[in-house]
Amino acid sequence: MEQQNDLLGTEEQPIVPPTSDEKTMAILSHILTLVVGFIAPLVIYLIKKDESSFIAAHAKESLNFQITITIACIVLAITIIGILLIWVVLLAALILVIIATIRASEGKLYRYPLTIRLIK
């Protein structure tokens, strides 16, 4: 059962309910991006991708989102108006990271909106 909400992303229940440790790693793959950017989900994905599909899905989604935000900020930094709008993109990213973290803690799969999915 998938709940659709284009503005705030989509969420869905995983086939197998995640364990407490899996939820913790999924939460970390989102929340640590506020400190170290795309490095945290990349490391978590590379270490845990074969152990848990739940962790891999969250880490991959977080990594794709961080790459998308980085690209958006670089493109905006090229223009003067874009420099003024970077804070809007970063605020929206913060809100979406918080939502993704909450969904991970609830044991749901989450997909960020408007994300370029480079890692599949």
Say which residue, 20 or 16, is predicted with more confidence: 20
Predicted local distance difference test score (pLDDT) of residue 96: 95
pLDDT over 90, % of the chain: 71
Average pLDDT, the chain: 89
DSSP character string of the chain: -EE--TTT-EEE--SSPPPHHHHHHHHHHHHTHHHHTTHHHHHHHHHHTTT-HHHHHHHHHHHHHHHHHHHHHHHHHTSHHHHHHHHHHHHHHHHHHHHHHHHHHTT-EEE-TT------
Say which residue, 97 or 7, is predicted with more confidence: 97
Predicted local distance difference test score (pLDDT) of residue 3: 57
Instruction: Tell me the pLDDT tens digit for each residue of 71-96.
Output: 999 999 998 888 888 999 999 999 99
